[in-house]
Amino acid sequence: MPIAKRKLDRVKQVKRWLEHAFPAQRPVRLVIRDLTPIEKKLLGYVSYGATLDTLYLHSMQPLYVMLATLLHEWAHVLCREEGLPPRQSKSREPTFHSALFWQKAGAIEVRFLEAGGVKESGSF
Ligand SMILES: [Zn+2]
């Protein structure tokens, strides 16, 4: 299967590749839609549910932004599954982007961008 030409098809293709290359323990639902003004500041985000997580992406962004956001948010899904706290209880400062998060996000980006993931994901 070649790399999908339509933007939304390509995003879904890369999501299926992520499920293969960096499997999540629970199902992750992908929702691509026009986000609210508050949501748009994030470009995308993950809502953690009891049995599945929902990854929201802003549909009006260019493909490269949507893919970068998808890779980033996937790292959040994996961090959450490993029990990394979403917030620090004492300072209430967000710890979403801890050193461990960036290790995970970096591994995903390197595999996608530099280790053949762009081409490989065309098969998903
Ligand atoms: Zn983040």
What whole-number distance in Å separates Cα of residue 37 and Cα of residue 76?
22
pLDDT digits 0-9 by tens, 34-93: 988 887 788 899 998 888 999 999 998 999 999 999 999 999 999 887 766 555 445 555
pLDDT of residue 49: 87
Q: How far is the CA of 85 from the centre of ligand 1 (A)?
A: 13
Q: How far is the CA of 110 from the centre of ligand 1 (A)?
A: 17
One-character DSSP codes across 64-119: HHHHHHHHHHHHHHHHHHTT--SB-TTT--B-TT-HHHHHHHHHHHHHHHTSSHHH
Walk across the sheet containing 53-58 and list its strands.
Answer: 28-33, 53-58, 44-48
Q: Where are the domains of the chain?
A: 7-116
What whole-number distance in Å separates Cα of residue 73 and Cα of residue 78?
9
Domain 7-116 falls under CATH 3.40.50.150:
no
pLDDT of residue 93: 53
Q: How far is the CA of 1 from the centre of ligand 1 (A)?
A: 31
Is the model more confident about 94 or about 65?
A: 65
pLDDT of residue 3: 86
pLDDT of residue 30: 97
